[in-house]
Structure 1
């Protein structure tokens, strides 16, 4: 189908959907803001996942963190901690906590106290202490924290008084504060946890969440919507919008239709070819910003023949990345030679690339003695910031690999099933990616490719190398940026040589919104946030 016909088809789809949605959609939604979301969350606790769909639905809506990352300043700023001090040896971080912070109040739970040090200890001891009564409540573990060896980094967490805690570290770690500012490092209610434990329902802490964030969860219907209401006692600036709805709409065309007809005010993750249609509607605005992300093809290096470096290099040389950029991303991404995007301060501009060279790919396969290679490629069924269409990417790779005699079988599942099955080792390869939570380069390396990330199932390549891990440790043990940069660039060179994964693209972060929406910042990293959105009452037609 030509691009012209696709655009005509989308316009027809929008018109038909508009007639249907305007008749029955808006009347069923409460006043406030509706966000067209692409999928169901796996949990309502971001400590338990690394999925962007779950992060969007939870981290910045329901919860708060001790510290936050300011994208404008590029620095760590106060959150539930008003300030902090670091000891001279870099092994102790003392946090002074904010007073009079209220947790959400629901029919199930009415807090009897405000936020204090007990909540900090509960939130992190649950992760690092295997004897903690809540540690094993999570069946998925704590993938981000396990991948960065958080439990080995923390010696203890000390409560000085109700409003002061000290994190004691076993070694220096320049990325420690940045990791506390990630979307995963949220603060839970210890009082709520105690109540659920007495009620014999501890698992509800991750399903019926209580936080200190700007919105509280009121209702979730799988495959339909998530509803939130404004937290009346939020410690920060009170959100303007009273109701927030995540309208779960997996199909990109349906999200655009709802945006155009007014059933959604904000949407994300458009397919590249759909932006031309959006540009025909003056009341829809496109905000884009270079993102700190990477889309990649992870190869299971523990499965023969993918454990052979010659085979992995052959696959890297066989992929026409420029074609993928043209078809899948249009002009909203740049080619990835490594996992760090150009916006990173540790980016390697002169990194050698595994350039597109089918002849070289064939020769490498011959040298490896591999014939009639048959590979399964798992492709995400939902759009993500780093890849708006993984299935189309898989099809293009399938075509490229056929030219060198390699058969590609494309496999996909419903998003919840897809993420569950990834926890096993039973796949050849997977098209996936990573959206960083801050600008620290370690956020790309350690959670994705460290040996510790193997046990958390966040290392999709099942690859572990001592020299690589040693470089990451050296980078964490110094605060001198130029030294850290050299260590990360050396680590990137190892990745480029060993090819446990094939980087494909660094995409812009694109948000679609009605022109009535103002003061919505497009964050280059982390999940979406709605607390500071302002809505006007007039829009252009």
Structure 2
């Protein structure tokens, strides 16, 4: 009996060893992974590009001190350890023996250079406000730095784990100047090779990488704007992997053994933003009317087709500080309620069924791009049609993503509405509530493209970011969301999931909840 138990245990151990050994041995080095994606980046320097099309690429080139793993835990990257010395100071011990792609040594001076470039440039890097009130970086020795904030700042460690904070080669920045934004140099598993605008970007393996070397020889990001064309390219083998899959195709891909569907619960809220400084959207009754006029359930069922979920707040449930704003109960789809609110605001139907106030038609201008987000064009057009049903004329203008993004980020936004999705990259409420809704955050200072101004919200988000007590911070963000629900700053449409599809020979890839964290350092091709 004892011998039988020993034999069985031995077999189990042997099988386990073979499984592990087999997995390791199965990894194959070499090959090119070709990715079909909808749009080109604005730039490849985080100082200028804080949206996914750029981050998908530079996440593989640049590395921050810390990173959020797939379970959203903070883990070391270019820092080996950290210690919170005070509410305003964190000490980081840096990884030794690391070199940038151009041969420049990675050290404390490079960290200091990166943060000074972001915070001391005029204007500041686009990510500077997102990372919080960082005052300076002090070099303690060659491999030790202190990051110091202007005030106590609860989310500092999560800020250091954002993809935007990847450390740059000081040598390359000084040598390349503005061209660095098109040919970044970092410490990551892949090196930049070339960028042909609106066609492709190519990365190659970093043979001198400090960690486990990438298995792929190359990663090619191809621009294929139409989702139908991307799907066809995947099916024919023209590409190996696609971003933004047509919802109608997901179930078909899941049933087909030739493909693999990769999923993660996302942190992104797709919405129609409203410019509150531009009449008539300065009237909360009009904004509430628009909220009642949009049939979110119809969009989720007939356009998104199960690939997204109904938003319950202006941030995703996976974000610290989330509170259910009960948007479906406060603003259910109700055209009669919408019309009553508009009538209360002085808007009456004209002979052409478009609402008027005197001789003024209720016309709203709306800017959007196609292909940046899943079904963004179709959803935007559906919202336009729904608003027309209550007599609101929407002048919809589609443009290239870079142009639309620039307009949304401009100090003076000349449109009433804009289509956008906001992802809380570090999964902390401060990232969204402070940057999106503080009255001092009008672009380019920060990200309040809504031109929202509520002194009580300002006070709450200021207090929340300076508080280290998690329960107190949650309570403060809860009140912020209660106020936002009353004020109606945006029209949330869906919470997106991260969904990618690859050929079945693509192995080792794992989808991340943060859309920007699209890493291919462990991906390999079984062919």
State if a TM-score over 0.5 links the two structures.
yes
State yes or no: 1:420 paired with 2:406.
yes
The range that moved more, 471-480 or 38-47, is: 471-480
Q: Partner of 1:8 in structure 2?
A: none
Q: Kindly report which structure 2 residues correspond to 1:375-454, keeping only aligned pairs within 5 A, or say none.
A: 375-384=364-373, 388-424=374-410, 425-454=413-442
Contact 2:312 2:325 in 1 (8 A): no
Tell me the equivalent position of 1:82: 80
Between 172-181 and 331-340, report the one with greater CA deviation.
331-340
Q: CA RMSD in A?
A: 1.9
Give distance in 2, aligned partners of 1:466 and 1:214: 46
SS in 2 for 1:34: strand
Aligned to 1:189: 169
CA distance in structure 1 between the partners assigned to 2:119 and 2:282 by the alignment: 32
TM-score, reference length from structure 1: 0.85
Secondary structure at 2:511's aligned position in 1?
Answer: coil
Q: Distance in 1 between matches of 2:372 and 2:150?
A: 40
* 1:102 maps to 2:88: no
Q: TM-score, normalised by structure 2?
A: 0.87
Matches within 5 A, 1:25-424: 31-58=31-58, 60-72=59-71, 74-87=72-85, 89-105=86-102, 111=103, 113-129=104-120, 135-136=121-122, 141-146=124-129, 150=132, 153-194=133-174, 196=175, 202-279=177-254, 281-349=256-324, 351-352=326-327, 353-370=330-347, 371=356, 372-384=361-373, 388-424=374-410
Aligned to 1:184, the other structure's residue is in SS state: helix
**Matched residue SS, 1:263:** coil
Distance 1:423 1:437, change over 3 A: closer
Question: Aligned residue for 1:502?
Answer: 491
Q: Which runs of 4+ in 1 moved over 6 A?
A: none
Paired with 1:458 and 1:477, the residues of 2 have a C-alpha distance of 19
Deviation at 1:225, TM superposition (A): 0.9
Cα distance, 1:233 vs structure 2? 1.0
Displacement after TM superposition at 1:518 (Å): 2.1
Structure 1's 186 and 464: CA in aligned 2 closer, same or farther, altered over 3 A?
A: farther
Contact 2:319 2:424 in 1 (8 A): no
Higher CA-based Rg:
2
Inter-partner Cα distance in structure 1 for 2:440 and 2:75: 28
Residue 455 of structure 2 is aligned with which of 460, 466, 472? 466
Residues 313-369 of structure 1: per-residue CA shift (max 9 Å, x gap): 111111100011112211111111321223335332363532211111111111111
Tell me which of 522, 528, 534 is aligned to 2:524.
534
| 8 Å CA contact retained: 2:31, 2:525 | no
Answer yes or no: is the 8 Å Cα contact 1:32–1:243 preserved in 2: yes
Query: CA–CA distance in 2 between the matches of 1:247 and 1:346?
Result: 37
1:509 deviation in Å?
1.0
Report the Cα offset of residue 277 of structure 1. 4.5
Residue 279 of structure 1 and its aligned partner are, at CA, apart by 4.5
Residue 467 of structure 1 deviates from its aligned partner by 1.4
SS class of match (2:381) = helix
